[in-house]
Amino acid sequence: MVRTIFFLNIAGFWTQQFYGDFLYAWFALWPPGPDTGPHFVAWQLVTYSFMHGGILHLGVNMLALWMFGRDVERVLGSRRFLFYYLACVVSAALMQLVFAWSSAIPYPTVGASGGVFGLLLAFGMFFPRRRILLLIPPIPMPAWLFVTLYAALELVLGVTGTQAGVAHFAHLGGMLGGFLVLHLGRRRPW
């Protein structure tokens, strides 16, 4: 599944290069609102995650998908991994819609980050003691600490409005959705 999601994201980005405005209008995540241009359609809760705002955006998301997704898929299996990933994508979209709805200027949301943040959370829960080495600064830390600090940073950046154009609440929504799926999955089989 990781490989399939990886290639679907590459294909989505490649397609954007030819049909950019059309794809954004129909497949990016638009907040519901008055007649201000493109509108929200239900399929956007998933399709936005296969589009990206540039090659760096795509590259970072695919690197994280590859780094954390492979181990998470080994634990969950392919079918449950796909369910988990899509649940994180949808919960990220719903969280983004809640916060974007209050914005005076509607803007589209794109990227696999919500699903990737859900994978990061699962990685931290499944492998809490595994060491992750940050690049800048090069500090090794256990996965649980990395995930906790990253979530706290996303919350601070989202509340303060730092890094405009980054969907911090979508990232947190992906983590929240992932936590709920894993927590509920412990109580009853998927």
Domain range list for the chain: 2-187
CA angle centred on 36, ends 40 and 90, rounded to 5°: 20
Q: Is 52 among the catalytic positions?
A: no
Among candidate residues 111, 114, 129, the one with its CA nearest the CA of residue 56: 111
Total-model pTM: 0.90
Q: 132 has which bridge partners?
A: 141
Catalytic residue among 49, 52, 113, 168: 113
Q: Is 49 among the catalytic positions?
A: no
Assign a CATH topology to domain 2-187: Rhomboid-like fold (1.20.1540)
Query: Looking at the predicted structure, is the pLDDT value of residue 60 above 70?
Result: yes
Can you give the length of the chain in residues?
A: 190
Model pLDDT for residues 89-142, shown as the tens digit of each residue: 999 999 998 887 776 666 889 999 999 999 999 999 999 999 998 777 788 999
